[in-house]
Amino acid sequence: MDVNGRLQQLGWALPWLLFQVFPVLDLVTTPRPDWVRAGAAVALVAFTAAYLTVFARAFGRGCSPAYRQLAVVAVLGVGLAVWLGTPFAGLMIYLSAAVAVTLPERWVWPAVVGATAVCAGVVLADEKFGDVFVLPLLCLLTAFALRGMRYLIGVNSELTAARDELARNAVAEERMRFARDLHDLLGHSLSLIALKSELAGRLADRDPVRARQEMADVEAAARRALAEVRDAVSGYRQVSLGQSLAEARSALSAAGISLTVPPPGQPLPGAVDAVLGWVVREAITNVLRHSDARSVAVAFRTVADGVELSVSDDGRGSDAPAGAGLSGLAERVAALGGRLEHGPAEGRGFRLTAAVPLDSPVPTGQVAAR
């Protein structure tokens, strides 16, 4: 631990050392045998060192309570007060403070009451200082003050830990969002590039004009993918349902797959439009990769609590568990309060359906992405 940290910990204890003026003055001014003065001075130094250690451990991060040092404070404090009288009864204030910052809640107040009783007993037994009743009262007040301070410090530590945890979770969530966006963006674009490159290779000999056209489409898709990745990295990427349907038509046409889409409808809220665009992208990507389909149909309808979009194909279907794409898509839909369903279509093929409420709240990640 650095020097500033140690000074900050000891800062809680140092102001209370002012009360040691009275026992020190008593040792200097009161006639006593030398061995008594020497013994009391050594005991007082040991008492002070143990007291400071108790506070350093109580407010140090990752430190266990200093129960042994607290026992030293209790034994020396009570011993000096009983042995040398009222000038040393103020040491019970130190004991109350050390108890308040160290012991568990159920033991604090019995120990404080005990220290207060010792202080009151010593004061009452001393005829010379019998009217110094402020010392027992200070024992109680000190315990209340230190206990409250300990509670506030504990709450502040919990709030700091919670804030750090929230920051870590926010970073982890943003990483997952970014990874999901890149998967969705590149998965679709690279599937289209691979498909058109394969088609261009087959057409190179028998239809060079068509092959050049397909390679031009590959170049355009690559440039579009590069722009989308740049936008995603910059945090300003926005996908729309209309854009995704247009890209789907181009990709499926190149693969010889027909596409049926609904006529344009009313504009959708930005967040809903974007997430349905991702649904179409993921569905078309899966069709190109896995389905061997000959036709794809996109259906869109308005339901009581929002809108529902489904993409179905007549391919071989799949009972395989959801991969990273569908898992990420489910997170997007769920963030808007919607649901994502997928499974075999009627007859044959595969169907992906997303239902999203129109009054969906905009998720934090999407706000950041705009």
pLDDT for position 25: 86
Does residue 206 lie in a domain region?
Answer: no
Residue 368 has pLDDT above 50, yes or no: no
If asked whether residues 158 and 13 sit together in one domain, one would say: yes
Q: pLDDT tens for residues 13-55?
A: 566 677 788 888 888 888 888 898 899 999 999 998 898 888 7
C-alpha–C-alpha distance, residues 127 and 134, integer Å:
16
If asked whether residues 159 and 254 sit together in one domain, one would say: no
Comparing 99-108, 167-176, 177-186, 360-369, the range with the smallest average pLDDT is 360-369
Does residue 225 lie in a domain region?
Answer: no
pLDDT for position 199: 81
Comparing 83-87, 94-98, 131-135, 161-165, the range with the smallest average pLDDT is 131-135
Q: Which of 149, 164, 179 is where one domain is finished? A: 164
Q: How confident is the model at residue 244 (pLDDT cuts 50, 70, 90)?
A: confident
> How many domains, in total, are found in the chain?
2
209 vs 189, residue with greater confidence = 209
Comparing 120-134, 259-273, 305-319, the range with the smallest average pLDDT is 120-134
Q: pLDDT tens for residues 106-135?
A: 888 888 898 889 988 888 887 665 556 778
Residue 3 has pLDDT above 70, yes or no: no
If asked whether residues 113 and 249 sit together in one domain, one would say: no
If asked whether residues 154 and 248 sit together in one domain, one would say: no
Does residue 197 lie in a domain region?
Answer: no
Q: Which of 107, 141, 164 is where one domain is finished? A: 164
pLDDT for position 19: 72
pLDDT for position 42: 93
Average pLDDT, the chain: 79
Residue 367 has pLDDT above 70, yes or no: no
If asked whether residues 274 and 149 sit together in one domain, one would say: no
Does residue 90 lie in a domain region?
Answer: yes
pLDDT for position 190: 78
Q: How confident is the model at residue 76 (pLDDT cuts 50, 70, 90)?
A: very high
Does residue 145 lie in a domain region?
Answer: yes
**Average pLDDT for residues 142-167, to the nearest whole number?**
79
Comparing 62-66, 293-297, 301-305, the range with the smallest average pLDDT is 62-66
Q: pLDDT tens for residues 183-206?
A: 776 777 777 788 888 888 888 888
Domain span including residue 348: 238-364
Does residue 182 lie in a domain region?
Answer: no
If asked whether residues 14 and 158 sit together in one domain, one would say: yes
If asked whether residues 243 and 160 sit together in one domain, one would say: no
Q: pLDDT tens for residues 85-95?
A: 888 888 888 89
Residue 82: how many CB atoms within 10 A of its CB? 14
Q: What is the pTM of this model?
A: 0.46
Which CATH number characterizes residue 265's domain?
A: 3.30.565.10
153 vs 343, residue with greater confidence = 343
Does residue 267 lie in a domain region?
Answer: yes
**Average pLDDT for residues 340-346, to the nearest whole number?**
83
Q: Which of 109, 138, 164 is where one domain is finished? A: 164
% of the chain residues with pLDDT over 90: 6
Residue 361 has pLDDT above 70, yes or no: no
pLDDT for position 46: 92
